[in-house]
Chain A
Amino acid sequence: MEQLQAVIQPPALRAVPGATRTKLKVERVSFYYERFKALQDISLEIPERRVTALIGPSGCGKSTLLRIFNRMYDLVPGSRAEGRVILDEATDIVTTHDLLGLRRRVGMVFQRPSPFPMSIYDNVAFAPRLLGWPRRRVEETVERSLRDAALWDEVKDRLKSPGVALSGGQQQRMSIARCLAVNPEVILMDEPASALDPVATLKIEDLMSRLAERYTIVVVTHNMQQAGRVADYTAFMLMDPVQRFGELVEFGPTVELFNRPRDQRTEDYITGRFG
């Protein structure tokens, strides 16, 4: 019940986070599906080991932006990104040819948990095994990842049972463990809790805050309270009403964006006057 109340309560805003160095530097990124422009000229700096939320109404391009960060858009024929996304001041994500290496450094958790059709253990061990890690290392990795994803205690006695037998929230934490298993630096989360009940949602949010001690987290959410609870920084995006591309309206520490929005449109949105 306490947990439920926490969900219902207005966002308890986090303090202004201490500054860290930039992990992802987004420079003038535009994005196209065929000839349709989906994102217009986006620039922001995502800090290392912090939670950054991308918020905005449906169709504003927040998921598209997220999918640029690990080049998942490559799966969509005819899509194309312009501009630069610099990882660690060195690698340009938009032009890199080492896709596999990039995706290992920048992992992703999706809206719907997608358990692989195998046991819980094998789910987490899947990528490490394919990468050819020795058996001992795979074993250690599975335990460490499940612990880090706050799932170990719930599943340690039934690692051999199928992943699909878990509840939705557990499946999502298993997906996170699977992602952690390949030692990413950045974790992208695409509405990771929107298919979950409030209690499971809280667990995921809790997890995000703890993971941010070691990983850089970028989370897309359409739930503003969630952004308020978990995000150190928030980017607010909107679809341009005329040209229909998504653009960045405002980006800053969550507490400032929520308390003292600089842009009228941000204020309209967070106070619920939008749409």
Chain B
Amino acid sequence: MRRQRRLARDLWFRFLIYVAAVVALLPLSLVLAYTISNGWRAAMQPDFYLHFERPEGIPGAGVQHAIVGTLELVGMASLLAIPVGIVVGTHLAEYRQHRWATWVRLAGDVLVGTPSIAIGLFAYALLVAPFHHFSALSGAGALAVLMLPVVMRTTEGALLLVPVGLREAGLALGLPRWRVALQLMLRAAAPGVVTGALLAVARAAGETAPLLFTSFGNRRLVFNPAEPMQALPLTVFHNALTPYKDLEDQAWGAALLLVVLVLIVNLASRFALRRQLALAGRGTS
């Protein structure tokens, strides 16, 4: 009797867990399915990748300028945010108890929670208004501020997972603390650090709000970071607002491309993680 009740309860909870899993997966699969079904038509056209924007009704439009823009914007932001984030994260892990570290950590946490549009406004006030025109550089600045806390905290977390024995062994060789931290500990923590950096890249690539009044957008292909520049999320944003069918298709295509790019970055981080873990001799779970 008791045994049966126990089994029934087990069954019931197992059911609940499966339901929860489905609920968690549902939005993701819906978003993916919807994006693919609406976006594939535009994304299958070679013109989509080879041309930049054209007025509505004229065939052969593409998002080449937005692809280049996203790569350039995120690339510049990464160059700014990743090195700084790694150094700050190392500092946090190395001087964990220090009062300064506590404040930096708090600042990072607040920054993670800051609405990205507020970061965009900040970049506008600092990097756009004084120069009287929009620029890709200001957009990259906004994205960098967005990425910084992510890189910082994941670096710190990855370093804290490195066994203390490694640090002691390094210091016992008579090596200075900063060299042990930067050349030994960071190396051991590399999988986590790389993952964190790639996650930050993926996040920055998908952001629209910080770019709205910094990089602003551009209908043509530009490389000069001092000029306004298009990015994939901006294409989605602007084109989706128009009433024209072909521009909406472009928006869906751009959205699909963005999802695929982020997916590639995520998979790449997985791959990097696995290779690094093998070298560090830890399991690949």
A residues at B contact (CB < 8 Å): 70, 72, 75, 77, 99-105, 107-108, 110, 112, 114-118, 126-127, 130, 162-165, 175, 178-179, 182
Contacts and interface: CB of A to CB of B under 8 A. Distances in A.
B165 A116 contact: no
B171 A117 contact: no
Contacts of A72: 168, 171-172
B204 to A, nearest CB: 28
Interface of B: 97, 163, 165-166, 168-176, 179, 183-184, 187-188, 190, 279-281
A75 B173 contact: no
A102 B97 CA distance: 26
> Interface SS of chain A: helix, strand, loop or mixed?
helix
A54 to B, nearest CB: 17
Contacts of B174: 99-105, 107, 127, 182
Contact of B279 (A110, A117, A178): A117
Contacts of A118: 187, 279
A104 B190 CA distance: 27
A168 to B, nearest CB: 12
A103 B169 contact: no
A110 B169 contact: yes
Given A72-B171, A103-B172, A116-B188, A130 B183 contact: yes
B120 to A, nearest CB: 39
Nearest to B162: A117
Nearest to A122: B187
Given A114-B166, A117-B281, A107 B171 contact: no
A162 B173 contact: no
Nearest to A99: B174
A103 B165 CA distance: 16
Nearest to B97: A77
26 contacts: A70-B172, A72-B172, A100-B175, A101-B174, A103-B172, A103-B173, A103-B174, A104-B173, A107-B173, A110-B165, A110-B172, A112-B165, A114-B166, A116-B188, A117-B279, A117-B280, A126-B184, A127-B174, A127-B175, A130-B179, A163-B281, A164-B279, A164-B280, A164-B281, A178-B169, A179-B172
Contact of B163 (A105, A114, A126, A130): A114
A182 B174 CA distance: 9
Contacts of A163: 281
Contacts of A117: 187-188, 190, 279-281
B172 A108 contact: yes
A182 B173 contact: yes
Contact of A103 (B97, B171, B280): B171
A226 to B, nearest CB: 21
Given A114-B166, A118-B187, A130-B179, A107 B172 contact: yes
